[in-house]
Amino acid sequence: EFAIEAKGLVKTYAATKTTPEMRALKGVDLAIPRGSIFGLLGPNGAGKSTFINILAGLCRKTSGQVKIWGRDIDERPRDARAAIGVVPQEIAADPFFTPREALEVAAGMYAVPPKERRTDELLTALGLADKSSAYVRQLSGGMKRRLMVAKAMVHNPPVLILDEPTAGVDVELRRQLWNYVLELNRRGVTIVLTTHYLEEAQELCDQIAIINRGLVVACEPTTTLLRRM
């Protein structure tokens, strides 16, 4: 069983008055092993966010099959979505919440029973324990991003998906974020991230799929892929 498996995945955005029909995914086959750090690498417009949005349930696929942690997203959508946490590109945390409140609200949305919440554990794991009672607006950019990761993990999913986790982030923050992601993986979480930085995929990922114009054009262990480039 894979963490995520897509077969013949197609997404066509309908035409609008101002834009033509867009085939964003043209039959994507992808099998992401459990326990891996898997990079989805490709230029802007390749279809990476579309893929993530289909996994997250934010966008409907046109055709094809997707399984998350062995659960078909058509047949068992709730079970499938319970197996992933998604960190969006943009920071979306209420500036007037504290990190602790933000995590409690997120846990509530996932209907995690109070006794099963791991708020303190997550605050510590993401280096936010000292700031757990500060307002989100007072946190540094790096802390806000780590809070986004913590929010995605409140229901203890086996898979964490990050969409362009370090876009527009400086080198130091990027390293810091990578370290937290690596630590989560060491604890057994499967990591899927999209990036258009080859360097990021190379440093972090043990397997890389290159996606271009809606198709997977390569999918290999990082070591063999780089030998050919």
Contacting residues toward ligand ADP, per CB under 6 A: 13, 22, 24, 42, 44-50, 69-71, 79, 156-158
Nearer to ligand ADP, 60 or 228 (CB): 60
CB of 91 to ligand ADP, least distance (A): 18
9 vs 143, beta carbon nearer ligand ADP: 9
- Residue number, 88 or 157, with CB nearest to ligand ADP: 157
Amino acid at site 28 = V
Residue 1 or 172: the one with the smaller Cβ distance to ligand ADP is 1
> Which residues are CB-neighbours of 223 under 8 A, at least 6 positions away?
none
- Name the minimum Å distance from CB 76 to ligand ADP: 7
Q: Which two tokens stand for residue 1?
A: 């069983």
Instruction: Check residue 14 and report its DSSP letter.
Output: P
Angle at 158 between CA 136 and CA 117, to 5 degrees: 50
Distance CA 137, CA 149 (A): 17
Contact 6, 30 (CB under 8 A): yes
Q: How far is the CB of 78 from ligand ADP (least distance, A)?
A: 9
DSSP state, residue 15: P
Distance in Å, CB of 75 to ligand ADP, minimum: 11
Least Å distance, CB 134 to ligand ADP, is 29
Phi, psi (deg, nearest 5) at residue 68: -115, 120
* 181 CB neighbour count, 10 Å cutoff: 21
- C-beta closer to ligand ADP: residue 15 or 223: 15
